[in-house]
A and B are shown apart, each in its own frame.
Chain A
């Protein structure tokens, strides 16, 4: 399973990745594979403030639904409309075109407290 080296992770498989002054959130390659074909994503409105660990949406396959949790605190500045219209982007390119939301982080130090790629790899049983 691919693990994006520039991202940091939650054990619940969401990632946060710096993008300029912002962070993008998505789910890991491992998570999309476990979930199977993604059929629907529900994402928050732009402007909503999320605290670290707060639920920010849901992602669904045919037979499963997972809540999405914010890896770091921040205010939503952009939502990936493309993925709402074509949820299969999460399966095809979870670290790229299949990103979910972009936030303006509130507390920069939270990022470094997340699992780094090596630790996340260990958490999902990969070295």
Chain B
């Protein structure tokens, strides 16, 4: 079923209008020997059959909802209010494209402007763009942006405890440029910032869940003429100081947990914000407020001279299509929960994670390694964390992320995530299961 409306009779009439004897004739520019006989694929099937086939695959996966879920590590199981998909799924949003014609795209444009505003205020920045592919690519683009903004400096400081997949994406993005990456451990204010440093990246919190305040490191970076990039958990910013108010120049974040489903890793939402001083170096689309000829408020894509369709090889990035719909989901999510709702979710995540840490820290053989954390913390386990994950999995509990998956030598470390979705009962069941698993 290729969704083609025209009947054979209509096609014949159209061919006559074109002056072609057959559809094949329209393909006559393609050298004869390159025409293929057919694809080695099955022929099309009906809607019922296709849906059955896709559903049967979907049903073979393990779902968060059916387990006691304590796995995060960059993707979070949070509640999505019913209004979010109901509104974002409206055909007028879903099946529009980049708002090239602002007069008939005010819905998308105003929604982007509202998202930019709410995300900017959450992160404490003066401007946020209309999205990147995900948190990892946003951070990689931020590194390139900072490197270009600090001409002549080629050193970027990265935290040792940065999400490993983010570090890999940065490596891919920067592979063609002469950038030296220096990894630092512990508090960012003690990182070796010098006159060759273009920027320091701070993970807030880092991959192990540890939170280091940004302020001192940002001040030190600025004294040394470097920029401060913060990769933040945006939900944490509802409860704790924003990177912006602590002096960050560029903030990136993964917005998935704000209204986007897990979806096996995508589509997610890359958030990027910056200061007024750096806005013209920021990649990505940006929407601005203006007026029409009658003085009525309206919104347009603006500062486009940064982008590939105008600047071509001199553009600040090659990004074109972004994550518009994921951004819209987050926009509606933030509007629905609002100030109180978002604070409450952050607060409950914090309290539940700390309650879990308290219980687990009290089990002989386990120790909590994170000192300041939000909703995710690192636990040292009495036996291989991967074994514990496997054992508890059979009992319907996904206890967290075994670090050995990324770092084979970190065998006894388990990263546990607790969100507003977890109940006290689940947390207590987790603690009891961990106690048993230590034996």
A-to-B contact residues, CB < 8 Å? 40, 42, 60-65, 67
If A62-B305, A65-B311 are given as contacts, then 9 extra A-B residue pairs at C-beta distance below 8 Å, sorted by A number, are A40-B305, A42-B280, A60-B305, A61-B305, A62-B304, A63-B310, A64-B305, A65-B314, A67-B314
Task: Determine the distance from Cα of A62 to Cα of B305 in the docked complex, in whole angstroms.
Answer: 7
| Nearest A residue to B302, CB-CB | A62
Minimum-distance CB pairs A-B, first 3: A65-B305, A60-B305, A65-B311
Q: Would you give the shortest CB distance from B302 to chain A, in whole angstroms?
A: 8
Contacts of A40 in B (CB 8 A): 280, 305
Beta-carbon contacts of B310-340 to A below 8 Å, as 1s and 0s? Answer: 1100100000000000000000000000000
Count class of interface residues, chain B: under 10
Task: Determine the distance from Cα of A73 to Cα of B310 in the docked complex, in whole angstroms.
Answer: 29
Contacts of B280 in A (CB 8 A): 40, 42
Contacts of A67 in B (CB 8 A): 314
Task: Determine the distance from Cα of A127 to Cα of B280 in the docked complex, in whole angstroms.
Answer: 39
Q: Would you give the shortest CB distance from A65 to chain B, in whole angstroms?
A: 4
Contacts of A62 in B (CB 8 A): 304-305
Beta-carbon contacts of B284-312 to A below 8 Å, as 1s and 0s? Answer: 00000000000000000000110000110
Contacts of B310 in A (CB 8 A): 63-65
| Nearest B residue to A64, CB-CB | B310
| Nearest B residue to A58, CB-CB | B305
Contacts of A65 in B (CB 8 A): 305, 310-311, 314
Contacts of A61 in B (CB 8 A): 305
Q: Would you give the shortest CB distance from B300 to chain A, in whole angstroms?
A: 9
Contacts of A64 in B (CB 8 A): 305, 310
Contacts of B305 in A (CB 8 A): 40, 60-65
Task: Determine the distance from Cα of A92 to Cα of B295 in the docked complex, in whole angstroms.
Answer: 24
Q: Would you give the shortest CB distance from A36 to chain B, in whole angstroms?
A: 12
Q: Would you give the shortest CB distance from A62 to chain B, in whole angstroms?
A: 7
Contacts of B304 in A (CB 8 A): 62-63
Task: Determine the distance from Cα of A119 to Cα of B207 in the docked complex, in whole angstroms.
Answer: 64
Q: Would you give the shortest CB distance from B434 to chain A, in whole angstroms?
A: 58
**Most interface-central of A40, A62, A64, A67 (chain B CB within 10 A):** A62
Contacts of A42 in B (CB 8 A): 280
| Nearest B residue to A39, CB-CB | B305
Task: Determine the distance from Cα of A15 to Cα of B144 in the docked complex, in whole angstroms.
Answer: 34
Q: Would you give the shortest CB distance from B411 to chain A, in whole angstroms?
A: 53
| Nearest A residue to B312, CB-CB | A65
Q: Would you give the shortest CB distance from B66 to chain A, in whole angstroms?
A: 52
Task: Determine the distance from Cα of A67 to Cα of B311 in the docked complex, in whole angstroms.
Answer: 10
| Nearest A residue to B303, CB-CB | A40
Q: Would you give the shortest CB distance from A120 to chain B, in whole angstroms?
A: 26
Q: Would you give the shortest CB distance from A105 to chain B, in whole angstroms?
A: 25
